[in-house]
Homo-oligomer: A and B are copies of this chain.
Amino acid sequence: MIDTTTPVATVVPSHGALAPLGLDEFRIDGGLWAQRQAVNGSATIAHVGDRLESEGWLPNFDLAAGGRLPEGRRGREFADSEVYKYLEALAWEIGRTGSEALERTFRAAVARVGAAQEADGYLDTAFGRPGQGERWSALEWGHELYCLGHLMQAAVARARTRPEADDGLLQIATRAADLVVREFGPDARNGVCGHPEIELGLVELGRVTGDQRYVDQAALFVERRGHGTLGEIEFGREYFQDAVPVRETEVLHGHAVRANYLAAAAVDVAVEREDAELLAALRRQWDRTIARRTYITGGQGAHHQDEAFGADWELPSDRAYSETCAGVASVMFAWRLLLATGEARYADLIERTLFNVVATAVADDGRAFFYSNPLHQRVEGAPADPGATVGRASTSLRAPWFSVSCCPTNIARTIATLGAYAATRSEDGVQLHQYAAGRLTCTLASGARVALTVSADYPTSGEVRVRIDEGGEFELALRVPAWAHEATLDGEPAGPGYARIRRRWRPGDEVVLSLPVAPRVVRPDPRIDAVRGCVAVERGPEVLALESIDLGAPVDGAALVPGSLRAEGDAVFADFAVLDDARGDADADPWPYAETAEHSVIVRSARLVPYRTWGNRGPATMRVWLPLGEAPDSN
């Protein structure tokens, strides 16, 4: 039985408009996300564990414990963090499924990590020993605090899912957190980490342990940033959000993962300290980021070079970086704002990002990943060997591992906790934010019990049925996404935003939400130069894409024939005018900028597929944004 005030959830603010449900309070039991959670538990987590062994990133801890570092240490300076994200994924998955096999794996890994911790709480395999850099000597790029933040998040996951366990992970994390407070407290070293993350770990550890010092330390880290606290780097201090103080920032900028982790933590700090000014600043930053620096997929980050947001409206499709981890981080930021405010647009973005970034980034078999998620693939990517380790800039298809392999572990922990994003409770009601078949059971602060079953084949179908399993009086709120223009709830127009029904429910009562999932054509803001003259097609929460496999031709030079879009069942088709390549290549004057130009085209019909499925059928070129061709002759 769950205490209603401390759910088994990833984020548990002390207050806010909405309260999270525990993983055991909403269980997904059907559809895409259930299937993804099953694959995550049976394949992805084990795959990650295997690679952490074979890459030497977990064995680094054995070397540390045995006093054998630095010789033999493998991986980048932040390799420890992947082990911690793996522990976090394991902890949530064990909590979700009760797997005894994963529990044994988890305990063995925690023991190896714990053995490497030093007497004063310090824990990092890359620093502090003869032949390594000194502790805290390289805050810009060293990632020590970043790694400890992930350690804390893992410990929080364990403490929430197995509060009685004696594995010691929470103690390892609190010893490390105590060290951080001593070393970086208000009267100690005026430093922050080059990669925000410790702030997230500290706040949540404070929430789990009740130790306010951790929350205060997180707040201190948030406030220190933006004053040139870190040194100059090649990409400028904007890269790690040290150019402008958080509460003076107008829009997310610099490295997209760093920016979102920091913003998410700053929401936590604002909530815990009831800092309305800080929360308002973060909401403004989110607004402008979503309006000007976010891809239609929800992806963020336009630059490969520094993995950064570009300028406003700088959103190239082909060079979209849209890092998987930035998608995960954006969901984390939006989720905290949703809990704080209860506003539907945050849940809208979470839905968009889960379906079009998170779901895209992992292969159906759970053992290969996209690091970046471009919206236009000009050159067919090569299949990656199952044993491969590729660079982050690789143009391969989904790959099993990366030299910087933050994304697979981030996927593993996010998929394990997907249920957490589906629903929340308020004083006297529950809110359904994401639609998946599943069962919700919880007790409200009012004392009312809620038990209901969601039936949905979403997003294939837009019909969502909610059946009440236990009677009682409460408000049921269902999110009507902003894209669902003619939604109905029990036949009445509904939304956008939350459609709310408050009544005394009887067992067997049912409400039906109908979200229109006919394909929609959407146009970009005219300031987004990269996709001028193009449209995208969406169906429900999914962005669709054109693959060369379906077109039978390269997607470059294909233009959508206006009016040709059509649904056949849940499949979407359209006609395309395709440049006649033979003629194009034989062009006598190859200079591509001309006062007049004629191009001969042929028309082909092709299916559009969900973007998240692209590349699943082998090498292909692909595009989300479709140039709008000319209307066909009427004769």
Contact = CB atoms under 8 A, between A and B. Distances in A.
Interface of A: 234-236, 287-288, 290-292, 294, 296, 302-306, 310-314, 316-319, 345, 348, 376, 378-379, 391, 393, 403, 482, 485, 520-534, 536, 556-557, 559, 579, 587, 589-597, 599, 625, 627
A236 B348 CA distance: 39
Nearest to A587: B291
Contact of A287 (B376, B526, B590, B596): B590
Contact of A579 (B345, B526, B559): B526
B587 A523 contact: no
Given A234-B391, A305-B304, A310-B319, A590 B556 contact: no
A462 to B, nearest CB: 16
A528 B591 CA distance: 12
- Closest A-B pairs by Cβ, 6 of them: A291-B590, A533-B533, A525-B592, A311-B378, A305-B305, A532-B533
B291 A595 contact: no
B393 A291 contact: no
B318 A310 contact: yes
Given A305-B304, A318-B529, A532-B627, A522 B595 contact: yes
A76 to B, nearest CB: 12
A348 B587 CA distance: 18
A314 B318 CA distance: 8
Nearest to A536: B593
A559 B532 CA distance: 12
Given A311-B318, A313-B556, A523-B597, 18 more contacts: A234-B391, A236-B391, A296-B593, A304-B304, A310-B319, A316-B530, A317-B529, A319-B319, A345-B591, A485-B595, A521-B595, A523-B596, A526-B559, A526-B597, A529-B530, A529-B534, A532-B533, A536-B593
Nearest to A376: B529
A312 B376 CA distance: 13
Contacts of A536: 593
Given A310-B319, A311-B379, A593 B291 contact: no
A595 B627 contact: no
Contacts of A485: 595
Contact of A591 (B236, B290, B520): B290
A1 B415 CA distance: 80
Contact of A303 (B290, B304, B532, B556): B304
A524 B627 CA distance: 14
Contacts of A532: 532-534, 627
18 contacts: A234-B393, A236-B391, A287-B590, A303-B304, A304-B305, A311-B318, A311-B378, A316-B316, A318-B529, A348-B591, A523-B596, A524-B592, A525-B593, A525-B597, A526-B579, A526-B597, A528-B592, A532-B534
B524 A593 contact: yes
Nearest to A292: B592
Contacts of A393: 234-235, 305-306
A625 B304 CA distance: 23
Nearest to A286: B590
A619 to B, nearest CB: 14
A486 to B, nearest CB: 12
A300 to B, nearest CB: 13
Given A378-B312, A627-B526, A482 B593 contact: no
B592 A291 contact: yes
A303 B296 CA distance: 23
A221 B521 CA distance: 54
B296 A520 contact: no
A8 B378 CA distance: 45
Nearest to A318: B314
A520 B348 CA distance: 46
A145 to B, nearest CB: 26
Contacts of A525: 592-593, 597
A302 B205 CA distance: 45
A522 B317 contact: no
Contacts of A305: 303-305, 393
A487 B34 CA distance: 70
A520 to B, nearest CB: 6
A108 to B, nearest CB: 34
A591 B522 CA distance: 11
A543 B329 CA distance: 42
Nearest to A236: B391
A533 B533 CA distance: 6
Contacts of A318: 310-311, 314, 529
Nearest to A485: B595
Contact of A594 (B287, B303, B522, B593): B522
B523 A593 contact: yes
A219 to B, nearest CB: 29
Nearest to A352: B591
A520 B319 contact: no
Contacts of A287: 590
A348 B625 CA distance: 34
Contacts of A391: 234-236
A167 B528 CA distance: 58
Contact of A520 (B306, B482, B523, B595): B595
A528 B531 CA distance: 11
Contacts of A534: 529, 532
Contacts of A590: 287-288, 290-291
